[in-house]
């Protein structure tokens, strides 16, 4: 079980590096969809052998929302958006990859500083959560398109969610569902906003959203 979990976590780490080095928005959306599906398998593997109904339900919901609904929604927004579908980052792809590797090292280092609550759990969980969070933040600040900022937010949220799935095992279901619902509505509203930005301004470059300043 631990081996499977470790493999899954390594795959999740790789999706982040893939995301940061892809140039097409549609490819990025697919990578985030892949990440959502991988993430939805985590609850099935952390239960140390026995599957509870709660875990299966959570897994199914995560897969539906993060693996299917979000990518569908974002691809729909992308199709309606005119203009370039390239990422056009502020930071180049090679530099981004290097930053990614640096952040990965940093997350492993930080992960080692914090003792694990459940010793049998994979030692990759804390680094993965930190790595995803930092990569998400990096994607938000280094990418120009509004859609890629939404993707960055999703990646960040995925990392935090992975952490929650792995450790806060006995978190009441109500809270998990509430979290998932909030993120769902957030992405939904963000999608609508991207649509409006595109309709109103004929572009979705966030660096050109700069009328308001002091």
- Footprint of other proteins (CB under 8 A): 114-115, 117-118, 129, 133, 137, 140, 146, 149, 153, 156-157, 160, 163-164, 167-168, 170-172, 174-175, 178-179, 181-182, 185-186, 189-190, 193, 196-197, 200-201, 206, 209-212, 214
Closest separation between CB of residue 52 and other proteins, Å? 14
Closest separation between CB of residue 156 and other proteins, Å? 6
Closest separation between CB of residue 108 and other proteins, Å? 17
Nearer to other proteins, 92 or 202 (CB): 202
Nearer to other proteins, 64 or 179 (CB): 179
Taking the C-alpha atoms of residue 37 and residue 71, their distance in angstroms, rounded to an integer, is 11
Nearer to other proteins, 30 or 203 (CB): 203
């Amino acid at each position: 079980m631990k081996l499977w979990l470790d493999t899954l976590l390594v795959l999740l780490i790789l999706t982040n590096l893939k995301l940061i080095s892809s140039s097409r928005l549609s490819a990025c959306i697919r990578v985030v969809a892949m990440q959502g599906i991988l993430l939805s398998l985590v609850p099935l593997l952390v239960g140390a052998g026995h599957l509870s109904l709660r875990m299966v339900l959570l897994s199914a919901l995560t897969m539906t929302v993060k693996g299917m609904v979000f990518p569908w929604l974002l691809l729909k927004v992308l199709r309606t958006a005119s203009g370039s579908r390239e990422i056009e980052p502020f930071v180049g792809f090679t530099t981004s990859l290097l930053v990614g590797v640096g952040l990965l090292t940093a997350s492993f280092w930080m992960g080692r500083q914090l003792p694990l609550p459940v010793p049998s759990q994979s030692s990759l969980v804390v680094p993965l959560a930190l790595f995803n969070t930092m990569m998400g933040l990096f994607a938000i600040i280094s990418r120009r398109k509004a859609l890629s900022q939404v993707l960055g937010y999703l990646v960040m949220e995925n990392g935090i969610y992975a952490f929650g799935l792995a450790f806060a095992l006995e978190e009441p279901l109500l809270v998990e569902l509430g979290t998932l619902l909030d993120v769902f509505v957030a992405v939904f509203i963000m999608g609508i906003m991207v649509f409006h930005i595109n309709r109103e301004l004929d572009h979705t470059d966030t660096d050109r959203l700069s009328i308001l300043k002091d």
